[in-house]
Every structure is written in C-alpha cells, then in structure tokens.
C-alpha cells in the first residue's frame, strides 16, 4: 500500500484508536505515535440496568423485548467521535494523506460520519483489527497490503 511521507494513519476498533504519522518514506515506513485514545466500555451486562422487558402478544402469550446494546452504542459513538476529530484535523490542514485501518464495524460506522474534507484526503483503508499489533508489525502489514480502490 502506498503510504506517503507525513501521511496520517488511523488504527482503530470500537474502543481504541492510534493516530500514527509516517516519518519515513513510502519504501521504508517509520510510523510514530501521535495520539492514543481509549474508551472505557464495559460489557453490556454491566451497563444494562434491568433484565429485558416483556410484552403481551395477541392473546395470552408474552414475548421478550430486546434490551438496548449499550456496548455497541458506545462503539458507534466512539467511531463518530473519531470522525469529528479527523474533520477538525483536516480543516486545520494537519494532514494531506490519510489511511484508515479499522475493524469492519468501526470502518462502516466511520464511513457514515466522514466529512468530505476527510474523504478528499483518504488514500486507503483496510478492514482489519491491528490495534494490538506493535508498530513494526503494522509497518510490515501496511507495506504488504494490496491497495484497493475506494468506494
């Protein structure tokens, strides 16, 4: 994958994000951590107040009502917050090239919120979870990643 000098690389899942900057060149990446962001997002069972509700169907039957998945909602909010941060940085001309590596769900949520200022600078995306990989492994994986056309 083409990772230009000074490109911003976002590595994210629904709870963690790494903002990396390529201080090397396209052939020899040198990713440096600019910012690390984490969200405290306990499992849904710890966030839900009550057990799922029940309601009467037609007649005497009662059916369970799905409870809100607070854990997933927090992940979606985290992705929306990341897109806001990217917009502010793009508006301030903090980066000209952006590569996003995120879990498929996070990437999908990010895409829904990305502003045109950010989309114009997006030069690649990867739908993988690399948040727990060391930097040297991320550099190697990025170089091996085949570029694919953006939607």
Domain carrying residue 35: 8-41+70-144
List the chain pLDDT tens, one digit each, 151 residues: 889 999 999 999 988 999 999 999 988 999 999 999 887 655 555 555 555 555 556 666 665 555 666 657 777 788 899 999 999 999 999 999 999 999 999 999 999 999 999 999 999 999 999 999 999 999 999 999 876 656 5
Task: Indicate whether 53 belongs to any domain.
Answer: no
Task: Indicate whether 48 belongs to any domain.
Answer: no
Domain count, the chain: 1
Q: What is the CATH number of the domain that holds 13?
A: 3.30.420.60
Task: Indicate whether 99 belongs to any domain.
Answer: yes
Strands (E), the chain: 8-12, 16-22, 31-38, 54-56, 62-64, 98-102, 122-126
């Amino acid at each position: 994958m083409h990772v230009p000098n000074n490109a911003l690389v976002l590595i994210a899942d629904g709870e963690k994000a790494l903002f990396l900057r390529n201080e090397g060149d396209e052939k020899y990446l040198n990713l440096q951590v600019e910012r690390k962001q984490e969200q405290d997002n306990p499992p849904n069972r710890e966030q839900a107040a009550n057990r799922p509700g029940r309601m009467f169907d037609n007649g005497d039957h009662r059916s369970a009502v799905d409870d809100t998945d607070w854990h997933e909602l927090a992940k979606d909010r985290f992705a929306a917050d990341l897109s806001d941060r990217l917009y502010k940085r793009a508006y301030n001309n903090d980066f000209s090239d952006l590569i996003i590596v995120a879990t498929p769900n996070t990437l999908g949520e990010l895409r829904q919120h990305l502003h045109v200022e950010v989309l114009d600078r997006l030069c690649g995306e990867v739908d993988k979870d690399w948040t727990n990989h060391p930097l040297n492994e991320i550099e190697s994986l990025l170089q091996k990643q085949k570029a694919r056309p953006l939607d």
